[in-house]
A and B are shown apart, each in its own frame.
Chain A
Amino acid sequence: MTTQTMILVVEDQPSEREALARMLRMAQYDVIATSSPDEALSHQEKPVELVISDLRLGDADGIDLLRRWKERRPETPFILVTAYGDVPTAVEAMKLGAADYMTKPVNPESLLQLIRKWLEKARANGHGDQESIGIPPGTSLEELERAAVERALEEHHGNRTHAAKTLGISVRTLQRKLKAWRMPMFAVAHPSSQQQPSMYVPRN
């Protein structure tokens, strides 16, 4: 009998928590669904292979959970999910060792692909290996920003307008960064397909 891979979900909103747990179970994962960092940490002794956590957990914080979990289990990949989608928060999360982040509403197929990717990497590192999964220490802020931009462009098939929205920055800011890094200037969505102008979402 094949043992299913165990994923820990941390989300304070009941409907979102249940929807994510249900979808992951349909995708054949064994899921522990929790609503707070303390509840999540109570499962640290279990064979959890990956954690998906909201960034904002009521009064608590997904980044604080990430820090506390990684003190004892640095090898566990963490995927942080946020409805705010701003670059500074994502960069901070990745500097602290998050494997990845996604903006709500997530593309479920992209999430499942990320889960498969990070599980593969974690298993390739071997059980008991204490090396942290994610960005290597000493990575510069610019490198992290660049990684976030590349990810967003890949997720949106090179569409700068959609990538800028995901990153929480204007298209102009994204274009300036691409130009500064001498990266290819990908396509911009045709104006008729844009529903709203890009807006920068400030971090609260």
Chain B
Amino acid sequence: MVGSSDRADLRQLAGKFAHDVRNPLHTIRLNLHALRLAMQTGNPLPADELELLFAESEQEVDRIEQQIRALLDSASATTLRED
């Protein structure tokens, strides 16, 4: 049974996780839209800018994966302590 203190911890954890995932998703979404605008306007981004956009987006995907891994590790550590 989850107590009120556990629920408060869970809410805080969920809030932090949401914040840490929303930020990189924000970057990826903006970069995708920049690509869309380049396509729609026929005004391509310079090659170096494009390379930077791809590198940033990949980095943000890695950030999200790191957050997920940290959450899973934290959950495993909690389970082990309870065992």
Which of A's residues lie within 8 Å of B, judged by CB? Answer: 13, 15-16, 18-20, 22-23, 26-27, 81, 83-85, 103-109, 199-202, 204
Contact A105 B41 (CB under 8 A): no
B66 adjacent to chain A (CB < 8 Å): no
- What is the CA–CA distance of A112 and B22 in the complex, to the nearest angstrom? 19
CB proximity of A27 to chain B, nearest CB, Å: 6
User: What 1/0 mask marks residues of chain B from 7 to 39 whose CB sits below 8 Å from any chain A CB?
Assistant: 000011011001100111111111101100110
- What is the CA–CA distance of A46 and B37 in the complex, to the nearest angstrom? 27
- What is the CA–CA distance of A18 and B48 in the complex, to the nearest angstrom? 14
Q: Provided the pairs A83-B26, A202-B15 are in contact, do residues A18 and B56 lie with their beta carbons within 8 angstroms?
A: yes
Which residues on A sit within 8 Å (CB–CB) of B30?
Answer: 16, 19-20, 22-23, 105-106, 108
By secondary structure, the B interface counts as helix
Subset of 22 A-B contacts with CB under 8 Å: A13-B27, A15-B59, A15-B60, A22-B45, A22-B49, A23-B30, A23-B31, A26-B37, A26-B41, A27-B37, A83-B19, A83-B23, A104-B22, A104-B26, A105-B22, A105-B26, A106-B26, A106-B29, A108-B30, A199-B11, A201-B11, A202-B12
Q: Provided the pairs A104-B25, A106-B26 are in contact, do residues A19 and B34 lie with their beta carbons within 8 angstroms?
A: yes
Which residues on A sit within 8 Å (CB–CB) of B41?
Answer: 26
Contact B34 A23 (CB under 8 A): yes
- What is the CA–CA distance of A16 and B63 in the complex, to the nearest angstrom? 13
CB < 8 Å neighbour of B43 from A26, A84, A106: A26
- What is the CA–CA distance of A27 and B11 in the complex, to the nearest angstrom? 38
